[in-house]
């Protein structure tokens, strides 16, 4: 049911993430993708349409025989060409950076698959005979994460480049938003009038930390920061020497993976003692599930819920992104 603070029912979309995961795995690829063992996989996409590529890179880092590279720009790296697989993701099908990079990919001779709800991206793919996964329309792109991420796994499996993730998809589809509701609302209450700083305790969760930051930005309309261990120990840790009054405006959120190494856990413990104790508050959460996919998505579901509750506590509608809309309007008016 819609509420005055959430008229577009963002909460319902967040809670549907597990069901969307199952639906997305079954979406058809038209025309079917041919067999291929890519030398590299390049994902195109920005914002809510780009985080899926980041999750793909993290999920496959320990097992794929090819690198996964994300491009969030108008231009492709020079190595992209025959032998590369390019997965072009734009929920609207109108993201100008993705359209420009996709055109370059097509011209380079790379194999291309588009994931979109329609627009110019789908029209160009149809005109070129490229495979397309058409996802349900009518959602804010950030609420369509499952539809933009899971089909990448399905495409790679169907072309024989990757094992099936069906069992992992079924596990992730059983995630239950209700079990995170109390944690999410409690954390949101502690974040009012503070700046969230989200740290992933391992590089595996790096895109999850970024997703938390992005959802704070778009849903709660608040500033946020993210970084990851161990990289932050080589720079950002020193920045915690900031003035005590400023530090108390920060609320640290540390995201742990149940499979992270003992050495990373030691780093987190020491860093909390020598730096993060200055913060106004701190919370830690650990991923749930057996498979890597569930571990990623369990924390994403929690973070999405936190951002929604923070939006409501800040008395803001979580759905509109008027600053982004205005930027696009002004860009469209430029020659």
34 falls within a domain: yes
Of 61, 95, 172, the residue nearest 53 (C-alpha): 61
Rama region for 199: left / alpha / beta (φ>0; ψ in -120 to 50; rest)? beta
Residue 251 known to be catalytic: no
> Structurally, how many domains does the chain consist of?
2
Output the CA torsion sign for 16, 22, 25, 29. negative
24 falls within a domain: yes
Q: What is the pLDDT of residues 16-27, one digit of tens each?
A: 999 999 999 999
Domain CATH for 238? 3.40.50.10490
Are 162 and 182 within one domain? no
Q: What is the pLDDT of residues 38-82, one digit of tens each?
A: 999 999 999 999 999 999 999 999 999 999 999 999 999 999 999
Q: What is the mean pLDDT of residues 126-135?
A: 98
Are 120 and 204 within one domain? no
Q: What is the pLDDT of residues 288-317, one digit of tens each?
A: 999 999 999 999 999 999 999 999 999 999
Residue 218 known to be catalytic: yes
User: What is the rounded average pLDDT for all residues in the chain?
Assistant: 97
Compute the distance between CA of residue 85 and CA of residue 156 in angstroms, rounded to an integer. 9
Q: At residue 1, does pLDDT exceed 70?
A: no
Check: CB of residue 255 under 8 Å from CB of residue 200.
Answer: yes
Count other Cβ atoms within 10 Å, centred on residue 241: 9
The residue from 171, 206, 218, 251 that is catalytic is 218
127 falls within a domain: yes
Confidence of residue 243 (pLDDT cuts 50, 70, 90): confident
Check: CB of residue 152 under 8 Å from CB of residue 87.
Answer: yes
Are 20 and 168 within one domain? yes
224 falls within a domain: yes
Compute the distance between CA of residue 332 and CA of residue 335 in angstroms, rounded to an integer. 8
Per the structure, the complete domain to which residue 109 belongs is given by: 10-172
Confidence of residue 2 (pLDDT cuts 50, 70, 90): low
Compute the distance between CA of residue 55 and CA of residue 45 in angstroms, rounded to an integer. 12
Which DSSP string do the residues of 216-244 spell out, in sequence order? HHHTS----EEEETTGGGGTGGGGGGS-H
Are 166 and 181 within one domain? no
Q: At residue 271, does pLDDT exceed 60?
A: yes
326 falls within a domain: no
Query: Which H or E run contains 325?
Result: helix 322-333
Exposure on the CB side of residue 118, measured as CA atoms within 13 A:
5
| Residues contacting residue 305 through CB under 8 Å, at least 6 positions apart | 14, 177, 180, 181, 184, 185
| Residues contacting residue 207 through CB under 8 Å, at least 6 positions apart | 51, 54, 55, 57, 58, 296
Are 47 and 98 within one domain? yes
Q: What is the pLDDT of residue 105?
A: 98
Q: What is the mean pLDDT of residues 236-244?
A: 93
Q: What is the pLDDT of residue 4?
A: 82
Exposure on the CB side of residue 85, measured as CA atoms within 13 A:
26
User: What 3-state DSSP class applies to 201?
Assistant: coil
Are 156 and 49 within one domain? yes
Global pTM exceeds 0.85: yes
Are 160 and 44 within one domain? yes
Which of 151, 172, 193 is the C-terminal boundary of a domain?
Answer: 172
Q: What is the mean pLDDT of residues 92-98?
A: 97
Residue that is written with structure tokens 């495409």 in the block: 155
| Residues contacting residue 83 through CB under 8 Å, at least 6 positions apart | 38, 39, 40, 110
Confidence of residue 97 (pLDDT cuts 50, 70, 90): very high
Check: CB of residue 72 under 8 Å from CB of residue 45.
Answer: yes
Compute the distance between CA of residue 114 and CA of residue 44 in angstroms, rounded to an integer. 9
Are 157 and 190 within one domain? no
Are 168 and 186 within one domain? no
Q: What is the pLDDT of residue 3?
A: 74
Which of 156, 172, 188 is the C-terminal boundary of a domain?
Answer: 172
User: What 3-state DSSP class applies to 281?
Assistant: strand
157 falls within a domain: yes
Residues in the chain: 335
Which of 121, 156, 172 is the C-terminal boundary of a domain?
Answer: 172
Are 159 and 194 within one domain? no
Q: Which residues pair with 85 in a beta bridge?
A: 41, 111
Are 166 and 17 within one domain? yes
Q: What is the mean pLDDT of residues 113-128?
A: 98
Q: What is the pLDDT of residues 147-179, one digit of tens each?
A: 999 999 999 999 999 999 999 999 999 999 999
330 falls within a domain: no
Residue 234 known to be catalytic: yes
303 falls within a domain: yes
Are 65 and 150 within one domain? yes
Going by the DSSP 8-state scheme, the letter that residue 110 receives in this structure is -
Going by the DSSP 8-state scheme, the letter that residue 118 receives in this structure is S
Task: Return phi, psi of residue 29, to 5°.
Answer: -110, 120
Count other Cβ atoms within 10 Å, centred on residue 174: 11
């Amino acid at each position: 049911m819609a509420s005055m603070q959430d008229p577009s029912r963002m909460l319902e979309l967040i809670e549907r993430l597990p069901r969307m995961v199952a639906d997305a795995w079954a979406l058809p690829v038209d025309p079917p993708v041919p067999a291929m063992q890519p030398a590299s996989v390049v994902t195109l996409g920005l914002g809510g349409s780009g985080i899926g590529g980041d999750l793909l890179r993290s999920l496959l880092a320990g097992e794929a025989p090819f690198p996964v590279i994300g491009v969030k720009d108008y231009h492709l790296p020079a190595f992209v060409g025959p032998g590369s697989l390019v997965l072009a993701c734009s929920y609207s099908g109108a993201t100008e950076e993705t359209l420009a990079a996709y055109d370059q990919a097509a011209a380079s001779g790379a194999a291309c698959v588009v994931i979109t709800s329609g627009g110019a991206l789908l029209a160009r793919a149809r005109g070129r005979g490229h495979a397309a996964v058409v996802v349900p329309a009518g959602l804010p792109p950030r609420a369509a994460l499952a539809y933009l991420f899971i089909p990448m796994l399905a495409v790679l499996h169907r072309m024989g480049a990757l094992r099936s993730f069906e069992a992992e998809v079924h596990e992730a589809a059983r995630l239950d938003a209700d079990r995170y509701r109390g944690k999410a609302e409690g954390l949101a209450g502690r974040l009012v009038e503070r700046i969230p700083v989200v740290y992933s305790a391992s590089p595996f969760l790096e895109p999850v930390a970024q997703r938390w930051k992005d959802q704070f930005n778009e849903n709660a309309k608040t500033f946020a920061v993210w970084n990851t261990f161990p990289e932050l120990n080589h720079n950002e840790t020193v920045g915690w020497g900031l003035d005590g009054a400023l530090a108390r405006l920060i609320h640290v959120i540390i995201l742990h993976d149940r499979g992270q190494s003992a050495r990373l856990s030691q780093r987190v413990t020491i860093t909390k003692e020598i730096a993060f104790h200055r913060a106004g508050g701190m919370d830690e959460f650990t991923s749930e599930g057996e498979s890597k996919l569930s571990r990623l998505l369990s924390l994403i579901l929690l973070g999405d819920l936190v951002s929604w509750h923070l939006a409501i506590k800040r008395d803001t509608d979580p759905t509109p992104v008027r600053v982004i809309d205005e930027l696009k309007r002004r860009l469209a008016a430029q020659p």
